[in-house]
Amino acid sequence: MKTESTYTTLNLLVPNKESYEQQSDFYCWNGGITSETILWPFNSYYWQINPSINDGYPSFGWQPVPAVAATVTTHSASDITANSVTANGEITNLGSTNPTAYGFCYSSSNTTPTITDTKTDKGTVSATGTFSTSLTGLLPGTTYYLRSFTTNTAGTSYGSVQTFKTTIVTTTWNGNASEELSDNANWDGGNVPVSGNNIIIPKLSSGSYPDLGNFTFENVTINGGAKASISSGNFVVNNNLIFTDDLNGASQLLNNGTTTVNGKIVVRKQFKSTGGWYFFSVPFNVSASGIYLAGTSTQATWGDPISGYVAGKNIYIAEYDGQKRDATGSTATSNSPNWKDLSTHTLVANKGYIMAVDADISLDFVSGTGESALFSSTASVPVSQYTTNSSAIHNSWNLLGNPFSSGYNMGSFTNSTFYFYNGSTYDVINTVINNNYKISPFGAYFMQASGSSLSFASAGRALKNKSVYQVNADILNLSLSNDQYTDKTYVCLEEGASSEYVINSDAAKFFSLNPDVPQLYTKINNFEVAVNSLPTTAETIDLYVKIGISGNYSTSSNFGSWVMSIGLLVNSVIV
C-alpha cells in the first residue's frame, strides 16, 4: 500500500516494533503482531506492502515521502478605511509538512501579488481555520490587490486575488493664509490633503483661491462662484473634476500649466422653474445619455419644446436656427420662429442652447474619458455664415459658448459684437465700445459671424469677476432706468461710418421678455439697434423708448444731458 498525494490517520494491524529485523535497505516483519494507530506517512518514510519486496510482507521503505503544499483561501477584505483594512483568509489544508509561514501579500500595481511584494507573515501554524490581519499605511482612494499565502516544505501556495479600494478623505479649502495648497492653514481641519483625497473648493467671502499646480487628487469639486488656477506644473485628477454653475455663479479654473483628468469632467448646473429660458453651453460633446440628475446615475428625460411640448420631461432644449432667420427675415420678442428642436438630442461642444424646466432641478452634464480641450490656452470655435438675405441685420446669426473652463474677456476680439442675456435683458458688447467684458464659462451668447470660425487667444483667458462696462470716452452711452432695471444704447460717431447696418459695427436690439424692463434703442432703416455707428456728419438721431409699466424713470449719459453739445441732437420717442 503506497500513498501518492493525501494522507490520513489509519487504524491498522501492524507488526510491533520488536518484530522487525533490519535488512540492507528496509525493515522487515519477523512475525510479531500488534495493533497500533499510526500516522500515514510515518516519520518521513512510508509503510508499504509490496509483493516484490520482503516476499510481500509489510515493510518500511527508506524512500522519502513527497512534500504536499498547504491550501489557502482569500476572503473579502473588511473594515476598509482611507488608510487601513482587515485582510481575511482561511487555511483549508495544512499539507505536509505544517506551514512555517502564512499571511497576506498585497500591491497597488501588481494584480497578482506574491511574497516579493508587501506582505504580512503570521509565522508557523499547526491547524486549519480562518485568520485575519490588519493592513495599515495604505493610500486613500487606492485600489489594492490582495491574496493569502502559506509556505511549507512543498513551497508557497496562494489563494485567489481579492481587490479592495480604500475610502477617500474629503477636505475643504478655506484659503485663510494664502493660495498655497501645502499650507495646513488653508484647509479646514488644518491638514493638507494627500494624493488620493477628494477636495472641495467653495466660494469664498474672504481669503485666497488655490493654485493647484503639481498636486494630484481623486475627485475635485469647484463650487458655484469659486475659482482656482494652475500657474505652472501638472494638476492631476484621478477620477472626476466637477464644475458647478448655480445661483452663486459659475466655477472657474484658469489653466496655465497642464491639467489631466483621468475620469470624467462634470458640469453641474442648477435650473429654476421660474427662471424661464436659460442660455447655456458645455465645452464638450454630450448626448442625452450623458445628462443625469445631479449626483445620481439617473438619466434626465429630454423633451422637444418646439415640435410639440409633452409634459413630464426633466428638460426642454432648443437651438437657434440662424439659417431660417436669414431665409425669412423673421424675428419676434416672444415665441420666435427661429428656434428648433435638436433632432439628435446631442449637445455640441461650444455651441449655445436654451433650456427650460418644469421643476427646479440640478443636472450633471458628463464628458467622455480623457476630455481636455477646455484646458487649452487657445481655441477655435466654428461658426456658420448665412448671407442670402439682403438685410445684413438678418445674416449669419450664431449662438455660441465659452470654450474654456475659465472666464474670457470678449473685449480681446477686434471689431466684434456679442449679445449676452443677463437674466432680465441683453448686454450688448461691441468691442469698439467696450474692451473689457469677461464672460463666464458654461454660458451662451449671440454673435453675427464674419468668418468661418471665432478664434480665442490665450491672453483673453481670465478669472471673471463681475463685469463692469468701461465705455470709451468718444462713444455716446445712453441709459434708461426705473426702480429695478436699466437698459442702455450706444451711438458712435466715426469717420467714414455707413448709415446702413454693418455687422460688428452696429448691433441689433434684443428685447427683454420682461415688461418691467424699460427698453432704449435707436433705428437703422426701421430696424431696432442697440449700437448705432453714424458718420460724423450726422446731426440728429431718434431715440426710442419702450415702457411696459407706469412709474418713475431716470435717464443718464456719459455726456450729461440728452441734448448733446457735440452737434448731435437726440430726440426721444416713446413707443
Partners of residue 22 on adjacent β-strands: 27
Cβ(75)–Cβ(85) below 8 Å:
no
As a 3-state breakdown, the chain gives helix, strand, coil percent values, each rounded to 5, of 5, 45, 50
Give the span between the Cα atoms of 399 and 529, in whole angstroms: 18
Alpha helix (H) residue ranges in 36-192: none
Burial of 455 (0-12, 13-18, 19+ CB in 10 A): exposed
CB atoms within 10 A of CB 151: 19
Cα–Cα distances in Å, from 164 out to 43, 77, 116, 138, 263?
A: 43, 7, 20, 11, 19
Residue 359, all three cell numbers: 421643476
Give the span between the Cα atoms of 110 and 145, in whole angstroms: 7
**DSSP code per residue over 195-216:** TT-EEEE---SSS---B-TT-E
Give the span between the Cα atoms of 147 and 117, in whole angstroms: 11
Give the span between the Cα atoms of 93 and 146, in whole angstroms: 20
User: 97: cis peptide before it, omega within 30°?
Assistant: yes
pLDDT score at 245: 96
Alpha helix (H) residue ranges in 100-221: none
Residue 461, classed as helix, strand or coil, is: strand
pLDDT score at 196: 77
The reported pTM is 0.75
Give the span between the Cα atoms of 63 and 69, in whole angstroms: 19
Residue matched to cell numbers 475627485: 219
Cα–Cα distances in Å, from 470 out to 323, 403, 430, 510, 570?
A: 33, 24, 11, 21, 22
Pairing of strands 71-78, 379-382: unpaired
Cβ(410)–Cβ(443) below 8 Å:
no
Selection from 92, 418, 94, 464 nearest residue 250 by Cα: 464
Mind listing the pLDDT tens digit of every residue in the chain (575 residues)?
333 333 333 334 444 444 444 443 443 444 444 433 333 444 444 556 666 766 766 665 555 557 899 999 999 999 999 889 999 999 999 998 899 999 999 999 999 999 999 999 999 999 999 999 999 999 887 899 999 999 999 999 999 999 999 988 899 999 999 999 999 999 999 989 987 789 999 999 999 999 999 999 999 999 999 999 999 999 999 999 999 999 999 999 999 999 999 999 999 999 999 888 999 999 999 999 999 999 999 999 999 999 888 999 999 999 999 999 999 998 877 778 999 999 999 999 999 999 999 999 999 999 999 899 999 999 999 999 999 999 999 999 999 999 999 999 998 898 889 999 888 888 888 887 777 888 999 999 999 999 999 999 999 999 987 554 455 546 788 888 988 999 999 888 888 888 899 998 899 999 988 889 999 999 999 999 999 988 888 878 888 988 888 888 888 877 654 443 334 444 555 54
CB atoms within 10 A of CB 330: 11
The values of phi and psi at residue 259, to 5°, are: -115, 125
Cβ(129)–Cβ(73) below 8 Å:
no
| Exposed e or buried b per residue across 7-28, where buried means at least 16 C-beta atoms within 10 angstroms of its C-beta | eeeeeeebbeeebbeeeeebbb
Cβ(220)–Cβ(195) below 8 Å:
no
**What is the widest separation between alpha-carbon atoms in the chain?**
142
pLDDT score at 418: 93
pLDDT score at 3: 38
